[in-house]
Amino acid sequence: NAGVTQTPKFQVLKTGQSMTLQCAQDMNHEYMSWYRQDPGMGLRLIHYSVGAGITDQGEVPNGYNVSRSTTEDFPLRLLSAAPSQTSVYFCASSYDGSSYNEQFFGPGTRLTVL
Amino acid sequence: LAKTTQPISMDSYEGQEVNITCSHNNIATNDYITWYQQFPSQGPRFIIQGYKTKVTNEVASLFIPADRKSSTLSLPRVSLSDTAVYYCLVGPRGTSGTYKYIFGTGTRLKVLA
């Protein structure tokens, strides 16, 4: 049971480039989410999903797209990278998104946009 | 969206008990209160969760008063390895059917030798 996995661990992009951060979980969780964490700051919700085919925006969705075609995977796409998107990105999952169920976090992807 | 409020930072010495209080005035009837711990360069991990009164596990205790507008995480006899950021989380926030979890800034605990 690998839990929540994220790839890549590190990524450097140039302004304007696009890329996809991968997130997968093997716990059959319906709820998945993406957060970003800037240096010395808390986590901010980007997008979340309550099941395959269902996504919704979080606090800071601009500049990011998501889709959920399977229960296991929840990729995050940066459409046109900007230096302001330099951050650490964490993916999380929980059984159904209710506050009763704990969230499991991945190890993070550290993204630098030059 | 309503957020939780915690002290920004705390210092403690090894062997002391540490209490971190979180304010969540807008907690909903169905909300559970969950605390997470985050070490540098790692994702947060679950510590403890409760709905009301007191909960204790092998690493911490959680005290929740009757009005549930606050909660206190208690770490007994902290060690250097407890140096981390601690977040309390309630929710989700937003209209019915939404699942937006809003993390606050957390409390940065530094344990000193």
Per-residue pLDDT reduced to its tens digit, B38-70 = 999 899 999 999 999 899 999 999 999 999 999
Please name the member of B46, B104, B105 whose beta carbon is closest to the beta carbon of A102.
Answer: B46
All residues of chain A having their beta carbon less than 8 Å from the beta carbon of residue B104 are 42
- Distance (Å, rounded) from C-alpha A41 to C-alpha B8? 10
Mean per-residue pLDDT, A77-94: 97
For residue A8, is the peptide bond before it cis, meaning its omega torsion is within 30 degrees of 0? yes
Considering Cα of B84, then B109, then B81, then B69, what sign does the dihedral take? Answer: negative
A39 contacts chain B (CB < 8 A): no
Flag if B43 and A107 touch (Cβ within 8 Å).
Answer: yes
Residue A38 CB: number of other CB atoms within 10 A? 13
Q: What is the pLDDT of residue A99?
A: 85
Mean per-residue pLDDT, B21-40: 93
B7 contacts chain A (CB < 8 A): no
CB contact residues (below 8 A), chain B span 28-47, against chain A: 30-32, 34, 36, 41-46
- The pLDDT confidence band at residue B96, using thresholds 50, 70 and 90, is low
Q: Chain B: give the shortest CA distance to residue A108, in Å.
A: 6
Mean per-residue pLDDT, A84-103: 94
- Distance (Å, rounded) from C-alpha B108 to C-alpha A88? 18
Check pLDDT > 60 for residue B110.
Answer: yes
Q: DSSP string of B35-70?
A: EEEE-TTS--EEEEEESSEEEE-SS-EEEE-TT-SE
Flag if A45 and B46 touch (Cβ within 8 Å).
Answer: no
Higher-pLDDT residue of B98 and B28 is B28
Check pLDDT > 90 for residue B105.
Answer: no
- Residue position matching structure tokens 């344990």: B111
Please answer whether residues A40 and B106 qualify as being in contact, where contact means their C-beta atoms are separated by less than 8 angstroms: no
Rg (CA), chain A: 13
